């Protein structure tokens, strides 16, 4: 953070005993040269929590609920990666604190600029002051064999990515009517036959999807803009704004997503850190929400097959509904979601109950698993105890008529 910044951050401290509280207060005033001051909760613009406190989780939840949107800094001896928080590893030092404060400042400025730009809907927003890169950005262990080119480390932080408004256009380009053409590949499979069952599954790691998911995790871990280069078009991942940029339309992406990658292709997969300042100067209509992108990618990779590693004889359930208004909707997705939110069921059971093709269930659970909301039930009881059938409402006929009306039938 610039030393010329005259307005100190106002920080509220949580989960600290009186001694630690006082020490932190003096640390911010002294070694940090007044970059931040400790204030009462009501006056604060940032919350700082000692994440090693026994009730840290409760404190965190309470702070998120009490002041949504307020930045939260977590201090811990352990490496933490929690959504919507900033992390400083103990023992705390000045550089770490200043780097996080820089980041918070850059994010706040970018959000403000984006909001103003959206309101006035005019010329491109001004790029904010370049924040310094976070100090603790050592590359973490990667989930898959994707190479990170450290030689091209970014010269600046990636806060400029916050300038972009989220783009959800591509999620709406297709509807469920367009899927029947390529989801019909599993007809006449005997799901009791283990050999035939193998033809109904796929391994995401053998497709572009697997590499995108790995790169996504790495970008999130490192909090930096990364570009995944392959034999196809480069994909740039912006972890702060949870967006991707790719110069390809849905038809092109769908075609590539469905191709198994041979050894030759895998060798050309390179993950490179990108200068965020240049990364931001791209056609805005090609930015896509990350979740919506991987959702689509999973659908086009699955093509009605289920992901390997998922036991289709075991019950699965949804932790929550997908945000359907911003996602491509596969056939019968809303019905399947409604059923799997209620209780765990096996995929084949879902197909039977709703009288839908198994591949419609498989493609849906593939997409849900990719965005992390589908879980395999681990409770034995879920597999043993039959789930009660859903109660039929009295006005079932009327509800069906409303559905037909809404769907334009």
Partner 1 sequence: MSQYKIIFTGPVGAGKTTAINAISDVPPIKTDAAASDMTKNRKASTTVAMDYGVMNLAGGEKIHLYGTPGQERFDFMWDILTNGGIGLILLLDNTRADPFQDMRFFLDAFGKFIDDTSVAIGVTQMDLSSTPSIEDYHAQLQGFGLKPPVFSVDAREKNDVSLLVQALLYSLDPGLAG
Interface residue list for partner 1 (CB under 8 A): 61, 64-65, 68-69, 83-84, 115, 118-119, 165-166, 172, 319-321, 323-326, 329, 334-339, 341-342, 353-354, 390-393, 395-396, 398-407, 409
In angstroms, the CA 124 to CA 236 distance is 20
**What's the closest the beta carbon of residue 165 comes to partner 1, in angstroms?**
6
Q: Which is nearer to partner 1, 65 or 386 (CB)?
A: 65
Structure letter (DSSP) for residue 243: E
How many CB atoms within 10 Å of residue 353? Answer: 15
- What Rg do the C-alpha atoms of the chain give, in angstroms? 24
Q: Which is nearer to partner 1, 209 or 337 (CB)?
A: 337
Kind of pairing between the strands at 316-318 and 374-376:
antiparallel
In angstroms, the CA 188 to CA 232 distance is 34
Helix pair 290-302, 358-370: axis angle to 10 deg: 150
Q: Which is nearer to partner 1, 181 or 409 (CB)?
A: 409
**What's the closest the beta carbon of residue 68 comes to partner 1, in angstroms?**
4
- Tell me which H or E stretch contains 76: strand 72-76
**What's the closest the beta carbon of residue 167 comes to partner 1, in angstroms?**
10
Q: Which is nearer to partner 1, 255 or 403 (CB)?
A: 403
Tokens coding 350:
């879902």
Structure letter (DSSP) for residue 170: G
Give per-residue burial for 313-323: e unless 16+ CB within 10 Å, then b.
eebbbbeeebe
**What's the closest the beta carbon of residue 405 comes to partner 1, in angstroms?**
6
Q: With contact defined as beta carbons under 8 Å apart, do 16 and 53 qualify?
A: yes
Q: Which is nearer to partner 1, 190 or 396 (CB)?
A: 396
**What's the closest the beta carbon of residue 221 comes to partner 1, in angstroms?**
19
**What's the closest the beta carbon of residue 118 comes to partner 1, in angstroms?**
6
**What's the closest the beta carbon of residue 268 comes to partner 1, in angstroms?**
34
Phi, psi of 328 (to 5 degrees): -70, 135
**What's the closest the beta carbon of residue 161 comes to partner 1, in angstroms?**
13
Give per-residue burial for 326-343: e unless 16+ CB within 10 Å, then b.
ebbbbbbbebbbebbeee
Q: Which candidate, 143, 122, 130, 285, places its Cα nearest to that of 212?
A: 143
Q: Which is nearer to partner 1, 122 or 325 (CB)?
A: 325
Q: Which is nearer to partner 1, 308 or 399 (CB)?
A: 399
Q: Which is nearer to partner 1, 150 or 391 (CB)?
A: 391
**What's the closest the beta carbon of residue 75 comes to partner 1, in angstroms?**
22
Tokens coding 346:
């096996």
Q: Which is nearer to partner 1, 244 or 337 (CB)?
A: 337
- Tell me which H or E stretch contains 396: helix 396-406
Tokens coding 400:
């069906």
């Amino acid at each position: 953070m610039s030393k010329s910044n005259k307005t100190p951050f106002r920080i509220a401290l949580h989960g600290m005993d009186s001694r630690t509280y006082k020490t932190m207060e003096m640390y911010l005033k002294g070694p940090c040269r007044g970059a931040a001051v400790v204030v009462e909760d009501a006056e604060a613009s940032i919350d700082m929590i000692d994440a090693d406190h026994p009730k840290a989780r409760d404190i965190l939840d309470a702070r998120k609920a009490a002041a949504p949107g307020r930045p939260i800094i977590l201090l811990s001896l352990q490496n933490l990666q929690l959504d919507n928080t900033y992390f400083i590893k103990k023992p705390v030092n000045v550089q770490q604190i200043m780097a996080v404060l820089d980041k918070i400042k850059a994010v706040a400025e970018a959000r403000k600029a984006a909001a103003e730009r959206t309101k006035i809907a005019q010329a491109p927003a001004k790029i904010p002051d370049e924040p310094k890169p976070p100090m603790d950005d050592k590359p973490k262990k990667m989930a898959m064999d994707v190479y990170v080119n450290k030689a091209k480390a970014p010269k600046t932080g990636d806060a400029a990515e916050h300038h972009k408004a989220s783009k959800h256009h591509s999620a709406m380009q297709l509807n469920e009517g367009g899927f029947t053409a390529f989801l019909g590949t599993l007809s006449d499979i005997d799901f009791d036959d283990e050999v035939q069952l193998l033809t109904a599954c796929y391994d995401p790691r053998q497709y572009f999807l697997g590499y995108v998911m790995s790169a996504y995790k790495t970008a999130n871990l490192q909090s930096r803009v990364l570009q995944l280069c392959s034999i196809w078009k480069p994909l740039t991942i912006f972890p702060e704004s949870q967006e991707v940029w790719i110069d390809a339309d849905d038809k092109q992406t769908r075609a590539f997503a469905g191709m198994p990658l041979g050894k030759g292709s895998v060798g050309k997969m390179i993950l490179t850190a990108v200068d965020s300042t240049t990364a931001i100067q791209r056609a805005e209509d090609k930015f896509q929400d990350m979740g919506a992108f991987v959702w689509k990618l999973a659908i086009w990779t699955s093509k009605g097959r289920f992901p390997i590693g998922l036991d289709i004889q075991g019950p699965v359930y949804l932790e929550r509904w997908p945000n359907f208004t911003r996602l491509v909707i596969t056939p019968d997705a809303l019905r399947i979601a409604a059923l799997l939110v209620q209780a765990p069921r096996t995929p084949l059971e879902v197909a039977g109950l709703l009288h839908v093709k198994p591949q419609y269930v498989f493609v849906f659970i593939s997409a849900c698993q990719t965005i992390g909301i589908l879980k395999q039930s681990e409770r034995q009881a879920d597999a043993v105890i039959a789930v009660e059938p859903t109660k039929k409402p009295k006005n079932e006929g009327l509800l069906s008529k409303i559905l037909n009306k809404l769907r334009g039938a």
